[in-house]
Amino acid sequence: MTRATIEDDFLKKIEYWRSCVRMKWHETISAYDKVIHPKIPTQLPEYFVDRYSFRVYLHSVFDRGQDRVAVPDYDLLTAYNKWYTSLTQTFSGLPNRDFPPPSLEARIPPSDFRTFLFKTWKEYIQKFPLEVSENYCRYPEGMYWFEYFQNSCHFPKRPALSGPDYFNKLSLKQQEFLIENYGVTGVMDFFIFMQQVHEESHIQQKGEPVLSEFIHAWLWCDFLKQNNLEIFQINDETQLSCNLERSWVTQLEFTKSEMKNFFQDTYLGSLLYFSAPIAYENLCLVAFIFDRKKIKYAEYLETVLKIFLQKDASTWQNSLNQKLTSVVAERFFQNNGRVKKRLNSKALLSFS
């Protein structure tokens, strides 16, 4: 399968594909007999728009089966019914420090340190400036814990972070330093801050979600470095980061306007950043392959880094597009019983 055989170009009709999946989301929500929960949006969170729009596009190309793409791709009611119990089981404190997780029915107490962290973050994003809503990253004190965790575009799926697990990834020396200087409540405060910034940033973002995660990771790592907060996230003995993307995102430099554009809309950001517009389709293709669990996250990140490093190499981007398209074509043909051989998940590693 090559680009010449594709009748409808994704990028030329991206707003059409986006409108299709927004309608699909609304139809799914409307099909339920009653409102499942007021915090489940009736409109598609824009953070997910190009995950679903690209899926619909691919199905329209490879098997004319775009109507079979579910938006969302899981049952909302089932996920909601499991949400509270699941979060109760995963919400953690600091067991090695005799600090159990708070009850989800308890309120989050005030904290001067946490207020300082939020203030510092807001000052940081104003330098770009990132356009965010008035409700973005409000101080959470007084909120019930269960309300706090519901404030996510992933809800009613579990939050990405459900406790201060970062603390156990630091060296023992760092752990002692943080406890001595901030206490166990300070360690928990940093988790509250990190979790809320992560989830609410995604609420503000638009486009391809795995790429949006990459963009947020760049902002987060840059923020930590500029504000001398890396002690909370980087093991000082192994240099391993609690942020999985750090090794890749820190190899890239962006101007403030470039980062702002990517944060607001990964598609428009890509159009302004790459010499070849096809680069955005490449980013959607590799995200699709990752979502389908054909490559590991590190392989996804490595390929995305290469795409960014080759931002002005149009010939390279076009060649990569043909390779990725062939991989996806094989994936779809395999699903339809037309191709029996297994997809070689290491194929992406040879792209250069």
Asked whether 265 and 131 are in contact (CB, 8 A), the reply is no
| pLDDT tens, residue by residue, 251-300 | 999 999 999 999 999 999 999 999 999 999 999 999 999 999 999 999 99
Q: Among residues 292, 136, 273, which one has the least CA distance to residue 215?
A: 273
pLDDT tens-digit profile of 177-231?
999 999 999 999 999 999 999 999 999 999 999 999 999 999 999 999 999 999 9
Neighbours of 338 (CB within 10 A): 11
**Closest residue by Cα to residue 193 from 232, 158, 237, 239:** 232
C-alpha span between 37 and 84 (Å, rounded): 13
Q: In the block, which residue shows the tokens 């300070």?
A: 186
Structure tokens at 106: 């308890």
How confident is the model over 144-160, as pLDDT tens digits?
999 999 999 999 999 98
pLDDT in tens, 58-109: 988 887 666 789 999 999 999 999 999 999 999 999 999 999 999 999 999 9
